[in-house]
Amino acid sequence: MTDPVRVLILDDDFRVGQLHRGIVDEQAGFIALEPVRSIAEARESIRSSRPDLLLADVFLPDGDGIALVQDAGVDAILISAADDAPTVRRALKSGTVGYLLKPFDRRALTGLLDRYARYRNLLAGDRPLRQDDVDRALAILHGAGEPVSVSRSATEQLVLAALGDGEASATEVGERVGISRATAQRHLAALAARTVVEVSLRYGATGRPEHRYAARI
């Protein structure tokens, strides 16, 4: 299993920061650090805690979230009520991996976090990349072929977590999650239909094929 993605949340509204923290902590493979409410606090937390991902508002009392992203060298998702094209263009030029307009359905954030995790896993390590690896990573990050609001059920997240970095049968996944084989099979089939997991066949001693599942990265 890979280490969880450590997320720093920056919003000057305490309630909003806590709301976003709850969404992050409920997402499999992510953990939220203590939220901060100012640019100064964010810079200090980035230095001391070294987060993997920053969720930041654009307009803060003591500065500009976009400028922070440019300087911090940390992957970021900007979350703002600012819907004017110049602000969005400036945000994209900063290197942000996502931009969410307030207010948004929580599924928009969970979907973006899910795509970010898949994008991050695909580009992990020091191996040389092929062009199709790069194309696939960018397509995943930008949600090509799927709406932003798509999210996974809690059970599907548990099923994916149970697969980890290896492969398993529906029976094995069911035992790890604590659900029936039929339920595990149903969720694995749905994930396979969306190309989130890959399916292969393994022939045992009886000659009967067994479906094996592995998470795609």
pLDDT at residue 1 in the model: 45
At residue 204 the predicted structure's pLDDT band, cuts being 50, 70 and 90, is low
Is residue 133 in some structural domain? no
Query: CB of 116 within 8 A of CB of 143?
Result: no
**Could you tell me the two tokens for 123?**
């580009």
Considering the domain boundaries, does residue 140 fall inside one? no
> What pLDDT score does 187 carry?
84
Domain that holds residue 118: 5-127
User: Is the peptide bond prior to 103 cis by the omega test (within 30 degrees of 0)?
Assistant: yes
**Model confidence pLDDT, tens digit, residues 4-47:** 899 999 999 999 999 999 999 988 889 999 999 999 999 999 99
For residue 31, what is the domain's CATH number? Answer: 3.40.50.2300
**Structural domain includes residue 95:** yes
38-60 average pLDDT score: 95
Could you give the CA distance from residue 69 to residue 75 in angstroms, rounded to a whole number? Answer: 8
Q: Indicate whether 59 belongs to any domain.
A: yes
The whole-angstrom distance between residue 98's C-alpha and the CA centroid of its chain comes to: 11
pTM of the entire predicted model: 0.65
Mean pLDDT on 68-84: 92
> And the tokens for 130?
């092929």
Which residue from 97, 119, 190 is spatially nearest to 152, judged by alpha carbons? 190
Is residue 55 located within the same domain as residue 99?
yes
Number of domains composing the chain = 2
Same domain? 43 vs 117: yes
In a domain, residue 56? The reply is yes
Task: Report if residue 145 sits inside a domain.
Answer: no
